[in-house]
């Protein structure tokens, strides 16, 4: 029996006349990767931001470890689709950002920055500015910045959405490898079905706006995984078709 880390209760979010999601109920378990799929505009990104206290809810609440989230927490880190690197900071300074703010002593910051830059494969690029890096490398830096805070919970907002197909698959494998070494609770927003199945222990398919839970699908493909091994797995096609059908029915209605 696993523990619920993040619990979303009757969450409702409106922007003026638009209801983004309404009375949404969801629980994310300790150590699992929950991938969230849904038609665009269904509120997946808003939901993720609400989980981090970046967006206030109109009704209901998000609980992490049993307490209500109102502001970003130190044990939760976020990775952004737009990378969110500071153009005026070098890679090492960007990676150091979160842990400096957490008040770590300088020598520990240095040690951790080196460790996480190595983990994401950016050794040799410490002193580069973001604009000198490819998109894939920029997101490696974004990932290192989040991981360096050693969070219990990672919130990923379509982190690979703007990368080309090959880079994306390489980074998906990296993420699976990092998870294997050091599993942690993760919520991963995506619009790519293959990505959701490859990375997720469960896949949440949302309805079109106002977003609700259409179905929670368990991905019964064992770890350790690679993208290639997941796609080659006999369960993969059935899972993908199932997700496709659920998403299609939402698109047709839209």
Partner 1 sequence: MTYDRAVELEPAAAAPARSRWRRLRPGDWAVRVGSIVLVLGVWELFGPSLNKLILRPPSAIFAAFFELVENGELQAALGQSLRELVGGLAIALVLGIVLGIASGRWRFVYNALDPLVSALYSVPSVALVPLIAVAFRSIGDAPRIATVALFAIFPILINTQQGVRNVDRQLLEVARAFNTSERRLWTDVIVPAAVPYVLAGVRLGIGRGLIGMVVAEFFVGLVGLGYLIISYENVFRVDRMFVPVIVVAAMGIFLMGFVQWIEGRVAPWLKKD
Q: Which segment (6-14, 128-136, 195-203, 212-220) binds partner 1 by CB under 8 A? A: 128-136
Spatial separation of the C-alpha atoms in residues 123 and 10, rounded to whole Å: 45
Q: Which segment (14-22, 73-81, 117-125, 242-250) binds partner 1 by CB under 8 A? A: 73-81
Spatial separation of the C-alpha atoms in residues 240 and 196, rounded to whole Å: 9
Per CB under 8 A, does 101 bind partner 1? yes
Q: Which segment (10-18, 29-37, 70-78, 163-171) binds partner 1 by CB under 8 A? A: 70-78
Handedness of CA 170, 175, 176, 181 (dihedral sign): positive
Q: Which segment (60-68, 97-105, 110-118, 244-252) binds partner 1 by CB under 8 A? A: 97-105
Per CB under 8 A, does 127 bind partner 1? no
Instruction: For the CB of residue 161, give the shortest distance to partner 1 in the complex, in Å.
Output: 14
Per CB under 8 A, does 106 bind partner 1? no
Give the angle 50-182-68 at the CA atoms, nearest 5°: 25
Per CB under 8 A, does 43 bind partner 1? no
Pick the binder of partner 1 from 38, 43, 84, 211 (CB under 8 A).
84
Pick the binder of partner 1 from 29, 89, 191, 202 (CB under 8 A).
89
Q: Which segment (9-17, 67-75, 166-174, 230-238) binds partner 1 by CB under 8 A? A: 67-75
- What CA–CA distances, in Å, run from 245 to 38, 82, 130, 251? 12, 29, 39, 10
Instruction: For the CB of residue 82, give the shortest distance to partner 1 in the complex, in Å.
Output: 5
Spatial separation of the C-alpha atoms in residues 72 and 49, rounded to whole Å: 9
State the Cα torsion 171-71-203-58 to the nearest 10°: -140
Per CB under 8 A, does 98 bind partner 1? yes
Instruction: For the CB of residue 144, give the shortest distance to partner 1 in the complex, in Å.
Output: 13
Q: Shortest CA distance to 80 belongs to which of 92, 68, 62, 98? A: 98
Handedness of CA 70, 72, 78, 83 (dihedral sign): positive
Whether 5 and 152 have beta carbons less than 8 Å apart is answered as yes
| Chain center to CA of 239 | 20
With 0-12 / 13-18 / 19 or more C-beta atoms within 10 angstroms meaning exposed / middle / buried, residue 7 is middle
By C-beta, is 90 or 208 nearer to partner 1? 90
Per CB under 8 A, does 105 bind partner 1? no
Per CB under 8 A, does 181 bind partner 1? no
Spatial separation of the C-alpha atoms in residues 113 and 236, rounded to whole Å: 37
Per CB under 8 A, does 211 bind partner 1? no
- What CA–CA distances, in Å, run from 217 to 60, 142, 198? 24, 29, 13
By C-beta, is 52 or 208 nearer to partner 1? 52
Residues at the interface with partner 1 (CB under 8 A): 52, 54, 71-72, 74, 77-78, 80, 82, 84, 86-89, 97-98, 101-102, 129, 131-132, 149
């Amino acid at each position: 029996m696993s523990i619920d880390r993040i619990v979303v209760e009757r969450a409702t979010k409106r922007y003026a006349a638009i209801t983004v999601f309404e009375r949404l109920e969801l629980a994310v378990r300790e150590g699992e990767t929950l991938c969230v799929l849904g038609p665009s505009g269904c509120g997946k990104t808003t939901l993720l931001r609400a989980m981090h206290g970046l967006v206030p809810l109109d009704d209901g609440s998000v609980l992490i470890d049993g307490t209500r989230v109102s502001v970003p927490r130190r044990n939760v880190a976020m990775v952004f689709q737009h990378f969110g690197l500071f153009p005026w900071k070098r890679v090492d300074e960007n990676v150091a950002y979160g842990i400096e703010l957490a008040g770590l002593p300088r020598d520990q910051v240095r040690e951790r920055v080196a460790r996480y830059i190595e983990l994401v494969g950016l050794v040799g690029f410490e002193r580069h500015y973001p604009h000198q890096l490819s998109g894939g490398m920029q997101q490696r830096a974004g990932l290192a910045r989040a991981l360096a805070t050693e969070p219990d919970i990672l919130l990923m907002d379509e982190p690979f959405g703007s990368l080309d197909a090959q880079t994306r698959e390489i980074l998906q494998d990296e993420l699976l490898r990092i998870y294997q070494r050091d599993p942690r609770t993760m919520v991963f927003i995506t619009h790519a079905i293959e990505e959701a199945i490859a990375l997720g222990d469960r896949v949440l398919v949302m309805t079109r706006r106002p977003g609700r839970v259409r179905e929670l699908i368990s991905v019964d493909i064992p770890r350790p995984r690679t993208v290639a091994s997941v796609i080659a797995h006999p369960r993969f096609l059935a899972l993908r078709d199932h997700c496709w059908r659920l998403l299609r029915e939402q698109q047709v209605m839209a």
